[in-house]
Amino acid sequence: MAAVGLLYVGGVLFVNAVMLLGKAEPRSVGIFNLFVGVLQVVVPFYIIATASDPDVILNASGIFLFGFTYLYVGITNLWDFDTSGLGWYCLWVAIIAIVYSMLNFFYFGDPIFGIIWLAWSFLWTLFFILLALKREISRFTGWVTMIVAWTTCVIPAYLLMTGTFPS
């Protein structure tokens, strides 16, 4: 199930990258952000509510970072809100993502996802700079988002679903 969610995170990152590159209108991209945001909130809530294994709960808790980000992006884009609040939220998430990275490296013994979480932390940091600090790095952030979508989400999702993920 986690691999399917990861695939859709790749999808929403892809469309957000296209938007940042000026090829899609923010309101139209906002709709898909809401779809994926709901998925990334409902699924971990169910997992956490029904799981008894603390490691399963810990892993599921990280999914909320994505879900709330995409809900926030969707609402911000659809109603044309100022992006500063979303940007500051992204800074908080970037810091929390470093903790998930360290957990993957040193607690779960999964260096691949340790690196993936670092990539996500870097991406959220770029969103902070773009959205809260209002620096004009849209094009750079768009290309980084595109690369991160495929390398940390879409490809790993298919490798996980086919049982060929190297971790």
SS3 1: coil
The predicted pLDDT at position 108 comes to: 96
| The two three-digit tokens of residue 113, written as one number | 């996802």
The predicted pLDDT at position 160 comes to: 96
pLDDT by residue, tens only, the chain of 167 residues: 689 999 999 999 999 999 999 999 999 999 999 999 999 999 999 999 999 999 999 999 999 999 999 999 999 999 999 999 999 999 999 999 999 999 999 999 999 999 999 999 999 999 999 999 999 999 999 999 999 999 999 999 999 999 999 86
Cβ–Cβ under 8 Å, residues 13 and 149: yes
The predicted pLDDT at position 7 comes to: 97
Three-state SS sequence of 41-76: HHHHHHHHHHCCCHHHHHHHHHHHHHHHHHHHHHHH
Contacts of 79 (CB under 8 A, 6+ apart): none
The predicted pLDDT at position 167 comes to: 67
Contacts of 57 (CB under 8 A, 6+ apart): 47, 48, 51
Among candidate residues 15, 20, 13, the one with its CA nearest the CA of residue 139: 20
Q: Is the four-CA dihedral 44, 159, 73, 65 of positive or negative sign? A: positive
Query: Topology of domain 2-161, per CATH?
Result: 1.25.40
The predicted pLDDT at position 2 comes to: 85
* Single pTM value for the model: 0.96
